[in-house]
């Protein structure tokens, strides 16, 4: 669409050699200014490209600085051949400026160079994200994201899916993560929640008679950030299908993802073709040590538990033993670094064997393996000359975890990963339930709305920990890209499934009332999944941090450094939703005094005199100070604050009623007359310029 107006005739991407000899007005930002002695040049940048502007009348530069928004009118010319710039589409032409209008001035020092903003500290980039987004590489991620989402929409529509938006304000329900809650103004003491996913609504759409639904859905979860997980909110391609099986969902999921990745993968990349490999959760944990296996890594974990139960090496007895074979021998230095890595992740050590040229073994545990068992080990592990095999022994779950971490580390250190490839797989047959090691109670492992394999009969007759669910994930290059399930649409099965997890029928009706009631009216079998849009873009753009593909991301602490969220609200806003500042303070175990100048008293909900710094207090302190605290730093802060409050409490108990007022200043000695020592100033003079002086006292902000 043509956008000719008073500011510009066209955008820079539409400029070409066909414009040579014509007068054109362009608008954009000043990316760079170069003075070549009597002639100056500007690199003019808009969203679409960069154009060189030549100013033979240097007075046109008056008042112009980098990053100002300007409008330039002039004559399009050919560049001299020796000044061609092949890096930009407009590299053979330039605009000789006749007039310049400043549209948006720069009033403050630009905090960083736009062209190199990706090298700037992340907190600075996020604070000035609107400047960071002027960087072409940063902006390209967002434009790329827009193209992918548009492509996804067209693909889903072509496959017969209908796009439907579901509510953002909804009821809170236990779905695995913490809710963001919103207090109601009209209903005192009641709260909305932001949806962790459109889970119940999309299932209700199936009950409503819609056959295939999708949306690019915003999801809100109060959970910690990771490199591949944005705190606060994220977007997913949410879709659901009526009268559908697990296999139906598999076909749709792999068709959409294969199509997207083939169309948008970097040039030269290969993409797994449908049908994707299907790996059970049990097999994934055994062979890869993870339910998110990176199939670019050729290393496979093998189980040698039974072998070592028969072996005389006692440290491995009674433990799960996993092993990883590599087709090379390592240097002493490499072994030492791997041992250090293993100890760093919690392993007690890292046993290994190398196969020498004569077929014999060399390694720390060689002498503990009987000679008559060494051939059996060679056969089980398929060892050959030049191979090295590493051993991991621990409790089953921990052994799997350590083996998976070591597999990843070996793959990266030895540069074994397949290059320029997106390798997809399905992980299915997840356990329906798991045992909480702390409470020893049974709970859902994944999605509580999943259909158990075996239906009601399995729930009634099997050990809950042996029941599998129709749940599945899509994994790409070690990143969980999607999760989904065949839904539990039967009321009886749902009641029993939740009962096993400790939810009574009353709780089920209260927390999931709409879904529970709807299932009384002929709910169809249905299934779906939800690939993560942010993670898709992150993989396709080869970015290591998911925040690089989000226009306005929060930082790792869930803060918007640009707009200051989370932030304070006024007392009037709190009263509107039937809250007071004291209500907020009480949530953190503190009491706020109401009278100005009154000394605040720190109280806790514990016994009188006790000091209790909760995790919530530390989170609040971090938010106030805009600090990104690690778990270790949070624990140290909790300890330091507790000690400080204990000290304040002890000071408060001192009887100071008979103590004379004291003042201290630094003593000053004259180096030439050490016998003469004076005070630098008296108290009145020291405080005379204090903004809140009160006689000889200086009022300071309360700290505790």
> Omega before 566 cis (within 30°)?
yes
DSSP letter at 140 equals H
| Strand spans (E) along 47-136 | 49-55, 69-78, 93-104
Angle among Cα 257, 263, 268 to the nearest 5 degrees reads: 110
The reply to whether 430 falls in a domain is no
Q: Are residues 99 and 121 in the same domain?
A: no
Could you list the residue range(s) of the whole structural domain that residue 35 is in?
A: 12-110
Write the DSSP string, 155-167: HHHHTT-EE----
pLDDT at 598: 41
CA–CA dist 11, 205 (Å, integer): 44
Looking at the structure, do residues 86 and 158 belong to the same domain, yes or no? no
pLDDT at 618: 81
Q: What is the pLDDT of residue 600?
A: 43
Q: Are residues 37 and 57 in the same domain?
A: yes
**Same structural domain, 261 and 136:** yes
Q: How many domains does the chain have?
A: 5
| Whole-angstrom distance, CA of residue 428 vs CA of residue 470 | 7
State how far the Cα of 423 lies from the Cα of 510, in Å rounded to an integer.
Answer: 42
Say yes or no: 550 and 689 in one domain: no
Counted residue by residue, the chain has a size of 704
Residue 458, classed as helix, strand or coil, is helix
Give the pLDDT score at 38: 85
Residues 251 and 382 in one domain: no
Q: What pLDDT shows up at residue 479?
A: 96
Indicate if 126 and 240 belong to the same structural domain.
yes
- Per-residue pLDDT tens for 215-270? 999 999 998 877 788 888 999 999 999 999 999 999 999 999 999 999 999 999 99
How many helices and strands, by DSSP H and E, does the chain display?
A: 20, 28
- Looking at the DSSP bridge assignments, the partners of residue 669 are 677
Distance CA(651)–CA(325), nearest Å, equals 63
Farthest CA pair distance, the chain:
101
Q: How far is CA 589 from the centre of its chain?
A: 29
Residue 414: CB atoms within 10 Å: 15
Residues 325 and 373 in one domain: yes
| pTM for the predicted model, two decimal places | 0.80
Nearest to 97 by CA among 18, 40, 46, 47: 40
What pLDDT is attached to residue 81?
A: 92
* Tokens encoding 635: 């624990």
| pLDDT given at position 111 | 94
Of the candidates 233, 190, 380, which has an alpha carbon nearest to the alpha carbon of residue 302?
A: 380
DSSP 557: T
Instruction: Tell me the CATH number at 104.
Output: 2.40.50.140
- Three-state SS at 685: helix
Question: Is residue 573 in some structural domain?
Answer: no
Q: Does residue 458 come out as left (phi exceeding 0), alpha (psi in the -120 to 50 range) or beta?
A: alpha
Structure tokens at 617: 């207090």
> Sign of the CA dihedral 174, 176, 178, 184?
negative
The C-alpha atoms of residue 40 and residue 34 are separated, in whole angstroms, by: 6
Q: Which residues of the chain have pLDDT under 70?
A: 1, 176, 587-612, 620, 623-626, 657, 659-704
Is 588 part of any domain?
yes
């Amino acid at each position: 669409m043509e956008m000719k107006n008073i500011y510009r005739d066209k955008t820079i991407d539409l400029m070409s050699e066909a414009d040579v000899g014509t007068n054109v007005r362009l608008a954009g930002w000043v990316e760079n200014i170069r003075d070549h002695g009597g002639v100056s040049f500007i690199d003019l940048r808009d969203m679409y490209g960069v154009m060189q502007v030549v100013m033979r009348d240097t007075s046109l530069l008056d008042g112009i600085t980098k990053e100002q928004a300007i409008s330039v009118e002039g004559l399009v010319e050919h560049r001299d051949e020796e000044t061609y710039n092949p890096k930009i589409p407009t590299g053979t032409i330039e605009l000789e400026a006749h007039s310049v209008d400043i549209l948006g001035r720069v009033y403050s020092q630009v905090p960083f160079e736009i062209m190199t903003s990706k090298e700037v500290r992340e907190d600075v980039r996020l604070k000035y994200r609107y400047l960071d987004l002027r960087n072409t590489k940063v902006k390209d991620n967002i434009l790329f994201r827009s193209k992918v989402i548009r492509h996804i929409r067209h693909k889903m529509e072509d496959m017969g899916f209908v796009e439907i938006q579901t509510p953002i304000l909804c009821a809170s329900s236990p779905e695995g993560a913490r809710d963001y809650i919103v207090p109601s103004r009209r209903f005192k003491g009641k709260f909305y929640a932001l949806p962790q996913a459109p889970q119940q609504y999309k299932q209700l759409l199936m009950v409503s008679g819609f056959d295939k639904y999708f949306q690019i859905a915003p999801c809100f979860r109060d959970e910690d950030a990771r490199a591949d997980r944005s705190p606060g909110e994220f977007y997913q391609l949410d879709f659901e299908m009526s009268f559908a099986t697990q296999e139906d969902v598999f076909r749709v999921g792999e068709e959409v993802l294969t199509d997207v990745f083939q169309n948008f993968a970097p040039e030269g990349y290969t993409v797994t073709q449908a049908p994707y490999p299907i790996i059970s959760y049990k097999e994934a944990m055994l062979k890869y040590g993870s339910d998110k296996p990176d199939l670019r890594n050729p290393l496979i974990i093998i189980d040698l538990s039974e072998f070592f139960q028969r072996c005389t090496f006692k440290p491995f007895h009674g433990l799960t033993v996993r092993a990883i074979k590599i087709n090379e021998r390592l240097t002493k230095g490499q072994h030492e670094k791997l041992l250090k890595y293993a100890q760093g992740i919690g392993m007690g050590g890292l046993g290994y064997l190398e196969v020498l040229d004569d077929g014999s073994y060399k390694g720390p545990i060689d002498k503990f393996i009987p000679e008559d068992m060494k051939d059996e080990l060679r056969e089980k592990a398929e060892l050959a000359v030049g191979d090295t095999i590493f051993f991991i022994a621990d409790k089953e779950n921990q052994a799997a975890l350590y083996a998976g971490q070591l597999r990843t580390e070996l793959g990266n250190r030895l540069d074994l990963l397949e290059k320029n490839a997106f390798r997809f797989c399905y992980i299915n047959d997840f356990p329906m339930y798991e045992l909480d090691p702390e409470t020893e109670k049974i709970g859902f492992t994944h999605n509580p709305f999943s259909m158990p394999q075996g239906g009601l009969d399995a729930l009634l007759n099997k050990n809950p920990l042996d029941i599998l669910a129709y749940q599945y994930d899509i994994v790409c290059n070690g990143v969980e890209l999607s999760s989904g399930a065949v839904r539990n649409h039967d009321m009886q099965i749902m009641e029993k499934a939740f009962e096993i997890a400790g939810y009574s029928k009353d709780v089920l009706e209260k927390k999931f009332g709409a879904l529970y009631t709807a299932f009384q009216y002929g709910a169809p079998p249905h299934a779906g999944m939800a690939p993560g849009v942010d993670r898709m873009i992150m993989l396709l753009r080869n970015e290591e941090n998911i925040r690089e593909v989000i226009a306005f991301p929060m930082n790792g602490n869930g803060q918007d450094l640009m707009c200051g969220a989370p932030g304070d609200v006024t007392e009037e806003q709190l009263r509107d939703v039937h809250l007071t500042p004291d209500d907020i303070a009480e949530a953190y175990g503190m009491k706020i005094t109401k009278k100005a100048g009154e000394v605040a008293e720190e109280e806790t909900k514990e016994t009188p005199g006790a000091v209790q710094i909760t995790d919530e207090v530390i989170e609040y302190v971090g938010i106030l100070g805009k600090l990104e605290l690690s778990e270790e730093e949070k624990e140290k802060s909790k300890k330091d604050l507790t000690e400080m409050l204990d000290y304040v409490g002890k000071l408060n108990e001192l009887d100071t009623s008979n103590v004379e007022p004291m003042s201290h200043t630094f003593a000053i000695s004259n180096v030439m007359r050490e016998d003469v020592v004076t005070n630098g100033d008296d108290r009145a003079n020291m405080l005379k310029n204090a903004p809140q002086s009160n006689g000889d006292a200086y009022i300071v902000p309360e700290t505790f």
